[in-house]
Amino acid sequence: MNDHEIDELLQKQKQFFQTGRTLDVQWRLQQLIRLKIAVQSHVQELQDALKADLGRAKEEAYLTDIGPLIMEINEAIQNCRRWAKEETHFSGLAAFPGLITKVYKMPYGSVLIISPFNFPVLLSLGVLVPAIAAGNTAVIKMSSKSTHCTEAVKKMISQTFPQEYVTAVDGGHDTADRLLAKRFDKIFYTGSPAVGKHVLAMAAENLVPAALELGGETGNWCIIRKDADLKDAARKIAFFKMCNAGQICININQVAVAAEVRDAFIQELIKAFDRQLPDALSSEEYPCLISTQAYDRCAAEAEEYRDRIVYGGYGNRETRKYAPTLICPVGIDEPVVMHELFNPLLPVVEYRDEEINDLLKTIGSREHGLALYLFTKDTAWAKKTMASMQYGGGCINEVCMHLTVRGVPFNGTGHSGMGAYHGEWGYREFSHPSTVFIGSSKFNLSLREHPYSGRKNAWKYQFMKIFER
């Protein structure tokens, strides 16, 4: 899209918003229902697109993109009225004679959603859901890398909503920059920390509020204590690392394993990989990397650690599939654990279990991850650790499942993002609270009015101290 087309589109959306149509909660519910019907009617097309872009089997496409999206829509439909209801507060003695204050949940207006390639359906339409529920219009900038999904979503959105209400567009970084330069009322970006900085800088030019969901600059840690159930941990980690070929913002970037159980854990992890997908490269169920460039980066980094690869370490450039690969041992300060991998490589960092506090200190000194995973039988320690670290979200003795829980936020902090969404948290993200005090023309005290000085007015100061308690 060129500047003129973007200006025209944004003007249409702002004019539509100004009609006040989106303020009607019943109308919003109708749009959510339309979106749900559209998704359910296009399941096959979306599955085919996810297969073409990322090599996803239809089951994984539904498990990770389509199913969670429908759940998100259902939650919004069931709860939108409650979320939208204004709050009523007692104004307090200091505000007498006014007794009531209202807080209205107002939509921002025209929002820009910039989605990534790794979950191109969920992370575009899943963000659209709270934007619609909160009463906004929306422009979705789809990824230029997941071309088939971009076309499928564009087609579906154009058949479901008028352009002045919701539209999906494609294009590369130049299109994204043209959109970011405009005066949208809210921006929601999902992607890398490096681009997140750029998005935030451009948003600041027009003082546009922005929410960022980022992967975390130094990746997400998984810690295996010596008392962990190794077989259970291995089973869950193997599934997660193979899911979408590791191209998941909350995936495990590196695993820290107590030295006392390192070898046993690696053997269990290898067994788990072999049991779930014994020949990943030839399996129709194993996804591929998004591009040849992504494959080459993955293969090149694996080659740097060739002498320490204990499993995997090979791929097929034509199909863009790279096998799940374990690298062990890896030092905690080596390059492979100092950046987000976004591929099926899994470095294994060894530590001594009695030195767990030193490990946590090192992790805590780095950029905050989007996720943290702990495996241990000591749940009291795990809860205390989770309550004292900085990260987006996570699990104890599980992986990724916090993402599926209704009513809780999905968010990052620091280099892993800002803002939150899913359910009511998404509604809050796409609306701003407006406080309205309802005054009275009767029984007004002159307490706040001049003059304050003199014997006749000394009582005012005394009453102020009573009212402000």
CB 252 within 8 A of CB 230: no
Average pLDDT across each block of 10 residues of the chain; the chain has 469 residues. List them in order. 94 97 98 98 98 97 96 97 96 84 97 97 98 98 97 98 97 95 97 95 96 90 98 98 96 97 98 96 97 98 98 98 98 95 97 97 96 98 97 97 93 94 97 94 81 84 76
Residue identified by tokens 């809050």 is 428
Tokens of 154: 């564009």
Separation of alpha carbons 77 and 36, rounded Å:
10
In the set 80, 149, 222, 249, the catalytic residue is 249
Is the whole-model pTM more than 0.85?
yes
**Which structural domains are found in the chain, ordered by start?**
3-216+419-432 (3.40.605.10), 221-366+369-407 (3.40.309.10)
Tell me whether residue 249 is one of the annotated catalytic residues.
yes
Tokens encoding 205: 């030019």
pLDDT recorded at residue 463 = 79
With CA atoms as reference, report the closest residue to 425 among 443, 446, 411: 411
Q: What token pair was written down for 400?
A: 């990724």
* Rg of the chain taking only CA atoms, in angstroms: 26
CA separation for the pair 81, 327 (Å, rounded) = 51
Residue 152 CA to residue 121 CA, distance in Å, equals 9
What tokens appear for 302 in the block? 């694996």
How many CB atoms are located within 10 Å of the residue 48 CB? 17
Active-site residue, 298 included:
no
Work out whether the CA dihedral 348, 350, 356, 360 comes out positive or negative: negative
Q: What is the pLDDT of residue 468?
A: 67
Token pair, residue 339, equals 């950046």
- What pLDDT does residue 164 have? 97
CA dihedral 193, 198, 201, 205 (to 10 degrees): -150
Q: Cβ(278)–Cβ(312) under 8 Å?
A: no
Catalytic annotation, pick one of 60, 213, 340, 429: 213
Q: Which of these, 250, 416, 254, lies nearest to 332 by C-alpha position?
A: 254
The pLDDT, as a whole number, for residue 441 is 85
Query: For residue 469, what pLDDT is reported?
Result: 66
- Which residue type sits at 423? G
ω into 409 cis (within 30 of 0)? no
